[in-house]
Structure 1
């Protein structure tokens, strides 16, 4: 059993303060737990904004895909021409202050392990927290994924992941291959094509949807992701299931030939890429828009992974192997809308866990459930 002397004790630890983590913290507050007494939010980023604060400056709010209101406080009055990183960071900052969430940052979580007595020990570079339950909302930004191709190490040009992209200007006049079939790939191709010679490469032909992404379609997509998670397989992103939005800008890019993809190449060469049928393509830059993987290494001591490589969930967020732990922003709750709903349901189940065979949650203000109140109306964001 670990020595818990000098450890911060709370009922619930929340790892991550992006959309999912803030949603969970909000509903913990609505359930009657006080920040730093009933729950603690630990975030490794330097400031508010989650992964949004690291997006490239040319990704304006108007171009951003997937920004959604957090529960209880609408995002209103944002200038569509401002960088999304600024808009969302300011919004998250105001959200944390409005609901007094007291996020601890920068705090880097190294491991979560058993602490004895039914508690979990969250080890960080800023001390340790002992908790009876855990909301893990660590997201994916820290784990950019680059697939392996033969010859990759021989390429004499530049390789980077979208996580390191900061704007098109540095690629002016260059030959850029964009690899990946998601929304980021499409956005970057449209931007880079204004200054560079671009080629799009995808593993599967992209599917552009003309129909609106309505609620029924969203539920069906989330159900497909949930099926994989319940089988203990690594989740696919919700976006990979829904397809790509055929916006007016996308249709214009298609008409110009910017979004005509080639199939995946077979190897990387010193000066570009090649296919087994003898085709070769020269390039100065390979930009990997190949997505991210869930950042869950800190949970390794708990041995939660299934033989299939994923973490099996019982429901939307609760880990099947350990009901004290909820994953928000993982699998079916990876979308911003899904994260809000998952935050509410996770807190409802955590509250039941805390109440079962244990004293009432420390710092509780009352016995109400995590119901969402009428939204707090906020002033317009400064332009």
Structure 2
């Protein structure tokens, strides 16, 4: 076939829509057991009313209800999108490798293999949570979990919780825990940067340009919040109202029952690592895409070391609106590559 799309989140569905409109043959391989991409795994406590914006998938307007868990609301929207446009999504299919073969790329999984002239990788980051290494983490006797496993505040009643991370995930946790936990402390490596004013289209373009500079140089893309800052969303305002955003610098080390700052000890029994995610690209290792700087050099959505491979939802297209644009760009480039004038 012309293309294989790996992943059926916002980026993958956007790419599939664009491939369909260009008349290219393709299949979408999704590791999930149901539609919804990473959204279906978000905490049930994250309400659709608290979202600071979900951009429409191309061709189908998203009108969320006033209430309801974001996980199910967005997943239902994705499922409708797949049905309305009759997208050929196969699931669950976990891709374990992409390799070069004569005239194309071979996509392999325990469920089967597919050969195509091009591959659009849209695997996102949710399946690759980042756990930083800090002194004493292995000695801590309490509970440690990543934000990927956070399912709301009810599990933390009466607990003393240390929340690590400077992004929207940490703020989501901080907006909920003060109602139930006996103590909540927020720590970050850098002073949080709160973004005043609306996230305008012009501001978005400047953010994307900064990310593009990194990936064009073969460097790993930085986290979204490190570029955009924290906007004053409803979740941020809720956390502020509860007095939960009094940030403290990172601890020097963890000990069995807490954390230490310059010899000052504080007891904690739970640590939530809201430390972000990294691109889930292990299945692309056979293509040897990495540059000496650790990143993947990009030319638009195309990887420089393998022109048949497009990364959508990576680097400058990691946002929902960026993924839509990148899906269209990838389809356009694939059509030109496979069907030159």
Fold match by TM threshold 0.5: yes
Q: What corresponds to 2:34 in structure 1? A: 47
Q: Find the structure with the greater CA-based Rg.
A: 1
Structure with the larger helix share: 2
1:200 aligns with one of 186, 203, 208: 186
- Could you say which residue in structure 1 is the equivalent of 2:150? 165
Q: Any stretches of 5+ residues in structure 2 without a counterpart?
A: none
Structure 2 residue 1 is the aligned partner of structure 1 residue 14? no
1:257-268 aligned at under 5 Å gives the runs: 257-268=243-254
State the shift of 1:115 in Å. Answer: 1.7
For the Cα contact (< 8 Å) 2:172–2:235, is it kept in 1? no
> How many Å separate the matches in 2 of 1:107 and 1:98?
22
Q: Alignment length, in residue pairs?
A: 340
* Structure 1 spans left out of the alignment, 5+ residues: 1-9, 358-383
Question: Residues 16-40 of structure 1, C-alpha deviation per residue, up to 9 Å, x if partnerless?
Answer: 000000000000000012xxxx101
Deviation at 1:254, TM superposition (A): 2.5
For residue 15 of structure 2, what is the aligned residue in structure 1? 24
d(CA) in 2 for partners of 1:70, 1:136: 17
* Deviation for aligned residue 1:255: 4.8
Give the deviation of 1:64 after TM superposition: 2.6
Matched, 1:270 2:261: no
1:270 offset after TM fit, Å? 0.3
Q: 2:210 aligns with which of 192, 202, 224?
A: 224
User: What corresponds to 1:353 in structure 2?
Assistant: 337
Q: What TM-score comes out, normalization by structure 1 length?
A: 0.87
Shift of 1:249: 5.2
TM-score of the pair, normalised by structure 2: 0.97
Which secondary structure state, in structure 1, belongs to the residue aligned with residue 108 of structure 2?
strand
2:89 aligned counterpart, secondary structure: coil
RMSD in angstroms over aligned alpha carbons? Answer: 1.2
User: What CA deviation, in whole Å up to 9, does each residue of 1:147-178 have, x standing for no partner?
Assistant: 00111111010000001111101100100010
Are 1:75 and 2:62 matched, yes or no? yes
Measure the CA separation in 1 of the matches of 2:227 and 2:97.
32
- Name the structure 2 match of 1:366: none
**What residue is the counterpart of 2:172 in the other structure?**
187
Q: CA deviation at 1:250?
A: 2.8
Alignment deviations for residues 328-382 of structure 1 (CA, whole Å, 9 cap, x no partner) = 000000000000001111111110000138xxxxxxxxxxxxxxxxxxxxxxxxx
Secondary structure at the counterpart of residue 328 of structure 2: helix
CA distance in 2, matches of 1:184, 1:21: 23
Within-5 A mapping of 1:130-141 = 130-141=115-126
